[in-house]
Amino acid sequence: MHKTIQPKVTLVGAGPGDPDLITLKGVKALAEANVVLYDALANEEIMNHAPKTAIKIFVGKRKGCHEYTQDQINQLIVDNALTYGNVVRLKGGDPFIFGRGSEEIEYAESFGIPTFVVPGISSSIAVPAYQGISLTKRGTSESFWVITGTTSDRKLSNDVALAAQSSATVVILMGMSKLSQIVSLFQKESKGETPVAIIQNGTTANEKIGVGTINNIQKVVAENNLSSPAIIVIGEVVKESNKLKGFYEEFLSNEIRL
């Protein structure tokens, strides 16, 4: 007699890159998985928490290179749940922060499949924190924005212009291809001297960082060969990080020599 398949989908946030930054609840979910569908931003070391017998399917996206469309990913989740039972959808960072996790959950639920969510540590907070950047700080920043640099229609989010008008710390994900536009918006608001940090592959062994101001961050990016995936952090709190003080002292001395 065949065992009845019990479909189930669990959306798990893998954290910002360091494999130790997945939650215990996420590890437990992976340990029970029959199938794991994982993203490019989910550290592959995390896959060691899944059973060796589990089917592992890479469904990641990189700029200009998509293994699967979102519609295909949605269908893979459902098909594997109905065929094999327990599916874990492993997504980088937190699945509900620019991760399209809600779309995947809604699609699975439309087939009557039980769904669960295990939140993850968002890179928008963790990556700056690893560099000692406190997104809010008494007397410096009362709030912060987290904005996608590139919308679904491949344009810069209109919210960046609004954020540039505020005194808040601004964190921009997926914004490297729009850096010149971002710089222009902040310069328009007379924010050319505002400190900026760009952190590539944050919290991983391959992490790279460049610091400067709105006026020269594009030069810093070119000199340090920074590229995606990277997080852009704009605000006075960047300069106040103990870890980045050395960067800024060197940067300021270079500016004086020039």
Residue 122: DSSP 8-state: -
The percent of residues above 70 in pLDDT, for the chain, comes to: 91
pLDDT value at position 257? 54
- What is the reported pLDDT for 1? 43
Q: 0.85 cut: is pTM over it?
A: yes
Catalytic residue status for 39: yes
Write down the pLDDT at residue 254: 65
Catalytic residue among 8, 18, 91, 174: 174
Q: Which of 56, 61, 137, 208 is catalytic?
A: 61
Supply the mean pLDDT for the chain. 91
Q: How far is CA 180 from the centre of its chain?
A: 20
Q: Indicate the helix (H) or strand (E) that contains 13.
A: strand 8-13
- List 39, 176, 191, 239, catalytic entry: 39
Q: Give average pLDDT by consecutive 10-residue segment, the chain, 258 residues.
A: 82 95 97 95 88 94 69 96 97 93 96 98 96 93 94 90 96 96 97 96 94 96 95 95 75 59
Cα–Cα distances (Å) from 122 to 10, 96, 125, 180, 185, in that order, read: 18, 9, 6, 25, 26
